[in-house]
Amino acid sequence: MKSKSVFICQSCGTHSPKWLGRCPGCGEWNTLVEEVEETVGAEYSFPSSEPVLYQDIKEFKNPRIKVKIEEFNKVLGGGIVIGSLVLIGGEPGIGKSTLLLQISRDFAIDQEKVLYVSGEESLEQIKLRGERLGVRGGQLFLLAETNLERILAQAEKIMPQVLVLDSIQTVFSSKLSSSPGTISQVREVANQVFRFAKRNQVSSFLIGHITKEGSLAGPKSLEHMVDVVLLFEGERDRSHRVLRALKNRFGPVSELAIFEMAASGLQAISNPSAFFLKERPANEPGSVVVSTIKGSRPLLIEIQSLVSSTLFASNPRRMTVGLDHFRTAMLLAVIEKKLGYGFGGDDIYLNVAGGLEIEEPAADLGIVLGVVSCLKNRPVPAGMAAFGEVGLSGEVRSVGQALARVKEAASLGFGTIVLPQGNVGPLEKEDLAGTKLVGVQHIRQAIDLIF
Ligand code: TYD
Ligand code: MG
């Protein structure tokens, strides 16, 4: 093994032979840190190092283990794949340790062995959290240790079903001389745990802190080394947290689970639509409910618009929170051009309630209805939800998964659904008794019908 000193950007991992004030890779300032680069041979070695004929490979009988938190299984694509390495990133205080201790608790109660390693907290501190979460022992082993080689030696001894490393930034390998949390350490730790997980079929979790900017400090550079990357997000002043997959070698990445932090840990919210709509104001102009798809399931979300005369006549504001800015600007242009409204003298604010994000064009029709409702100062009728993509001519285009969207809205008591005419046909043979489908081909038609 040979070693030389290099400078590595802690934000993107770019290497440089000399120190630079600004990283040539990502343009960040003061992110280069001197590290000793060791060249280790054979980075990844799976248990089989001989080629095997495809037909000789044994099929995995039950490759996933389910956790008791069904929402968590969903985000993972149906449970934890045995021997997979999952990275969970999130800001400090968001609930990463809580979530993984809850999961560990459930396995331990079922007499599955779990090794929870903490480099951040003492065993007593973990126990304190455990008491709130109702941990009852079973086969839950705790270890307060930061040296990776010692951790893995203990893991070899116990041979747990599940291994948790809290957090990757506090653990270091004695093979490297750089300090814990640096890119080379974080990578070395991930690499060794990855090999341990594959060799022994131990499902492993790495907890990683992310910085404000949203990059997994160090862990960002790990994304390619792990099987699954989960992101735990939420705002400090809100009780709910959103868990979603950024990468998943064994499932879709669009699933999301919503949790609420309660006195006894994280509680999954099983009906997110109701949760996000519960504070919706009644009969308020500018508020509209759209039926969107998040992952494999529909979700009803409120979009709020506010149009108010501007103080900056030459440059009125166009602010969006949770919506694509450019798409929204396009829709505003369509409203001006095709419906004949002028709002050159107005500021326009659009917000997705609950701090969620909507990426799909199926929210277009909702945005248009919300803005027009605000301009007319007339509320969208209570009990009405909408979805549909809007094109540049103002035409309303059909979208996927219309039935799921309609059913979700109907199940929450929305009796009238405004949707693309093109989606209505296939829905006619469905049993949607009590739900009125209003198909529209153009936004003008929708506006005339509603207001
Ligand atoms: P924690 O899991 O320690 O966050 P992270 O590991 O991501 O840094 O917990 C975060 C917060 O949750 C902490 O401020 C205390 C709070 N909390 C509860 O409200 N209820 C609980 O049952 C627990 C365990 C924590
Ligand atoms: Mg923690």
Q: Given a cut of 80, is residue 320 above it in pLDDT?
A: yes
pLDDT at 111: 82
CATH number at residue 297: 3.30.230.10
DSSP 196-225: HHHHHT-EEEEEEE--TTSS-TTGGGGGGG
Q: Given a cut of 50, is residue 45 above it in pLDDT?
A: no
| Same domain membership, residue 260 and residue 118 | yes
The last residue of a domain, from among 245, 270, 295 = 270
Chain mean pLDDT for the chain: 89
pLDDT at 417: 96
How far is the centre of ligand 1, averaged over its atoms, from the C-alpha of 433 (Å)?
45
Q: Which two tokens stand for residue 294?
A: 């998040």
- 3-class SS of residue 148: helix
For residue 449, which of 403, 362, 380 has the smallest C-alpha distance?
380
Residue 350 lies in a domain: yes
Residue 50 lies in a domain: no
Residue 47 lies in a domain: no
DSSP 72-92: HHHHTTSSEETT-EEEEEE-T
What are 361-382's pLDDT values in tens digits? Answer: 999 999 999 999 999 999 999 9
pLDDT band for position 152 (cuts 50, 70, 90): very high
| Same domain membership, residue 296 and residue 257 | no
Answer whether 90 contacts ligand 1 (Cβ < 6 A).
yes
| Same domain membership, residue 350 and residue 294 | yes
Residue 55 lies in a domain: no
Measured distance CA(356)–CA(244) in Å, rounded: 12
The last residue of a domain, from among 211, 238, 270 = 270
- Percentage of the chain beyond pLDDT 90 is 57
**Long-range contacts for 171-178 (Cβ within 8 Å, ≥24 apart)?**
171/117, 171/119, 171/146, 171/147, 172/146, 172/147, 172/148, 173/147, 173/148, 173/149, 174/147, 174/148, 174/149, 175/38, 175/40, 175/149, 176/35, 176/36, 176/38, 177/3, 177/36, 178/35, 178/36
Measured distance CA(444)–CA(338) in Å, rounded: 8
Neighbour-count burial of 178, counting CB atoms closer than 10 A to its CB (0-12 exposed, 13-18 middle, 19+ buried) = buried
Distance, CA of 432 to chain centre: 32
Answer whether 263 contacts ligand 1 (Cβ < 6 A).
yes
Domain of 144, in residue numbers = 61-270
pLDDT band for position 218 (cuts 50, 70, 90): low
pLDDT at 223: 85
- Pair type for strands 346-352 and 265-268: unpaired
pLDDT band for position 43 (cuts 50, 70, 90): very low
Phi and psi at residue 335, to the nearest 5°? -60, -45
Answer whether 134 contacts ligand 1 (Cβ < 6 A).
no
- 3-class SS of residue 305: strand
| Same domain membership, residue 306 and residue 265 | no
Answer whether 261 contacts ligand 1 (Cβ < 6 A).
yes
User: Which ligand minimizes its atom distance to the CA of 95?
Assistant: 1
User: Which ligand minimizes its atom distance to the CA of 100?
Assistant: 1
Answer whether 160 contacts ligand 1 (Cβ < 6 A).
no
| Same domain membership, residue 279 and residue 240 | no
The last residue of a domain, from among 225, 247, 270 = 270
Nearest atom, ligand 1, residue 264 CA? 22
pLDDT at 220: 63
Answer whether 92 contacts ligand 1 (Cβ < 6 A).
yes
| Same domain membership, residue 202 and residue 166 | yes
Q: Given a cut of 70, is residue 233 above it in pLDDT?
A: yes
Contact 315, 345 (CB under 8 A): no
Residue 56 lies in a domain: no
| Same domain membership, residue 288 and residue 260 | no
Residue 292 lies in a domain: yes
| Same domain membership, residue 287 and residue 240 | no
Answer whether 135 contacts ligand 1 (Cβ < 6 A).
no
CATH number at residue 197: 3.40.50.300
Residue 308 lies in a domain: yes
| Same domain membership, residue 223 and residue 123 | yes
- Which of 91, 94, 96, 98 to mutate for ligand 1's pocket (most ligand atoms within 8 Å of CB)? 98
| Same domain membership, residue 193 and residue 139 | yes
pLDDT at 270: 84
pLDDT band for position 446 (cuts 50, 70, 90): very high
Contact 11, 215 (CB under 8 A): yes
Q: Given a cut of 50, is residue 27 above it in pLDDT?
A: yes
- Percentage of the chain beyond pLDDT 70 is 93
Q: Looking at the DSSP assignment, which residues form a beta bridge with residue 298?
A: 293
Q: Which of 8-17, 64-73, 186-195, 372-381 has the lowest mean pLDDT?
A: 8-17
How many domains does the structure of the chain reveal? 3
Answer whether 127 contacts ligand 1 (Cβ < 6 A).
no
| Same domain membership, residue 290 and residue 143 | no
| Same domain membership, residue 79 and residue 15 | no
Residue 96 lies in a domain: yes
User: Which ligand minimizes its atom distance to the CA of 166?
Assistant: 2
CA angle 384, 390, 391 (to 5 degrees): 165
Contact 345, 313 (CB under 8 A): yes
